[in-house]
Structure 1
Amino acid sequence: MKKIVFILSIFLSINVIAQTSTFNSLLQKHVDAKGNVNYKALKKDEATLDTYLTYLNNTTPSSSWSKNKQKAFWINAYNAYTIKLILDNYPIKSITKIKKKGKNAWKIPFAKVGGKTYTLDHIEHNILRKKLFDPRIHVGVNCASGSCPKLHNKAFTANNVNSELESLMKQFINDPKRNKLSKKSSIQISEIFNWFKGDFTKEGTVVDYINKYANEKVASDAKVRNLPYDWNLNGK
């Protein structure tokens, strides 16, 4: 019996690696280094994306998985289903234009994982933010919009999720299009730090969190304002 369980676990691990590699190839092919997505070309590869989504639907994440493995799996799922939602409605100028039965894009139950159907909101808020808490999740998941942290052009894995999220957070905080930092008395930062303030202030202020990654440190008493959010599609 132990031998059968071991062989099964090896098979499942190989399948996870293979399917994640499929999603990674799609991202590498259609998303540039700045996070801009070529949705027109990606639409032609939709069958490959659907193969990955079928894998998600057939895979039930286990609590026995490491936290990093679970985190990588759910961030990939969120991003893959967000892309699918855009493709299903393409061409479209903004994800905010998507409505179904009076529900916006984040509240539509359509993302299938392990035979269950989820909304994007449930994946983000109930699973990633609640069960797998990590403020850096906010630069991992992508809302297909201009002001969002860029869509990473790599799939996350148990081995890379920590280092990739760390790198993405540093890039996001120091991106002058998304955060305008200086040593002066005021700064302008992304609305993400306002919407999810509680996630970034577990161990200090928002400025304290920003200073963990900022190339130019911000004064602790700096006046903070939030930048207008660009909801235009993150397409080329």
Structure 2
Amino acid sequence: MKKVLDYVLSIIYLLYFGLLLVIFHVVQVVAFNVFGKKAHKKSVDFFNLMLTTSYYITGTTVHFEQQEAYPTDRPIVFIANHQSTFDIPAIIWFLRKHQPIFVSKIELAKGIPSISYNLRKSGAALIDRKDGKQAVSEILKLSKYIHENNFSAVIFPEGTRSKTDEMKPFAEGGISALLKRAPNALVVPIAIQGTRRFNPTNGMFPLTSFSKLSWTALKAIEPKGKTTTEVAEQAREAIAQVLNAGK
């Protein structure tokens, strides 16, 4: 019976999800071209609120915890574990005050209504994982951008989504590049739980109904005086503590 319910609720969810993609693609295009970047940012925020709350269609709960307030007068590098496509909307919505911009694979910049458009217009680092030089160049551009505007960047240093509850090792190159041109950036780990189990096939069908999803934005790490290796290890350990406590 539970499996049947998973299929039924997944179909309803995906119909709603597809409708949101189409509607907000039009909204974003109009907002950006007619009213400018600030209006586009607000449309993206609202789009991701709708995506985050859409999980309720499947009976799934959403919990976000921020362990401390983060400054808005300096850039931030958010470092998160990566379990699923569903990791992203809640980060954009709940941390919208910090204007998070993602390091993303370049393939996502085309073909997906709303999502691809936002990646292209937001200043995201669109990296070709087969071309290390291009990837570093893109991340350095994002680093400079968040430094100049006191925005934030989001990176998943595992590189690809983990297929188990165990985190992959953190690659340090992207973190190093983000901090290179934003030397005053604060580093904030984010522990994400439940999204892999919610989307076990990574194909969005069927989803696991009545899942529990959570995002925990942890205490900030001051990178000054630390090597990139030390920062990455400290962030990974902080995330691992939350994940292990939730098992």
TM-score in terms of structure 1 length: 0.30
Bigger Cα Rg: 1
TM-score in terms of structure 2 length: 0.29
Task: With a CA cutoff of 8 Å and minimum separation of 6, indicate the structure with the bigger relative contact order.
Answer: 2
